[in-house]
Amino acid sequence: MQSRGVGDSNEMAMTMREITGHKASGLNEALQILVLDEPGSDGASNKYAITARASPGLSSFEKVIDFQDGPIAEVGVNGISDEALLAIVADRLKCFQAGPYSCRENAIALAKIQEALDCLQSRTPSGTPLPSRERPGEG
């Protein structure tokens, strides 16, 4: 697998999709999330960019997130997992709950993220998703 930069011509030719589900107010309004690749054979995209344009009180930046692309046995570890990203958010919410930003909404979000982690980790012993036709009771 070859890693591509955000501005590579191959990526510029494809249609980028913007994700807007995070926009509510403040910082999230200033952040843009773009999907930088087409879905792979598993149906999921693997490369995302989060950008912000410089504005009063906010510096311009871009962060690219690469998710695992392909089976580890075939391509090695080349990106993060959904579980890793959720674990980071869970840790931040736990810290908020232990500090001055503790609130009911953080507690509920933390519980839902932990539930999502539990579901993802129970897919298979290795954490690798199986197609629905191969899961017990499905297909």
Q: Are residues 92 and 117 in the same domain?
A: yes
Residue that is last in its domain, among 80, 98, 119? 80
Q: Are residues 58 and 108 in the same domain?
A: no
Closest C-alpha among 81, 17, 77 to residue 48: 17
* Mean pLDDT of the residues in the chain: 83
Where residue 67 falls (left for φ over 0; alpha for ψ -120 to 50; beta otherwise) is beta
Q: Are residues 70 and 94 in the same domain?
A: no
> Rounded to the nearest 5°, which phi and psi values hold at 85?
-65, -40
Does 137 map to a domain? no
Q: Are residues 1 and 45 in the same domain?
A: yes
pLDDT at 13: 54
pTM: 0.74
Does 101 map to a domain? yes
> Rounded to the nearest 5°, which phi and psi values hold at 119?
-65, -45
Residue type, 62: E
* Confidence category of residue 12, pLDDT binned at 50, 70, 90: very low
Q: Are residues 65 and 96 in the same domain?
A: no
Q: Are residues 14 and 67 in the same domain?
A: yes
Q: Are residues 11 and 73 in the same domain?
A: yes
Q: Are residues 31 and 58 in the same domain?
A: yes
Mean per-residue pLDDT for 67-71? Answer: 93
Q: Are residues 73 and 86 in the same domain?
A: no
Q: Are residues 62 and 27 in the same domain?
A: yes
pLDDT tens per residue, range 75-134: 999 999 999 999 999 999 999 999 999 999 999 999 999 999 999 999 866 655 656 555
Domain hosting 34: range is 1-80
Q: Are residues 65 and 123 in the same domain?
A: no
Q: Are residues 31 and 87 in the same domain?
A: no
Does 46 map to a domain? yes
Per the structure, the count of domains in the chain is 2
Does 133 map to a domain? no
Q: State yes or no: pLDDT of 45 exceeds 80.
A: yes
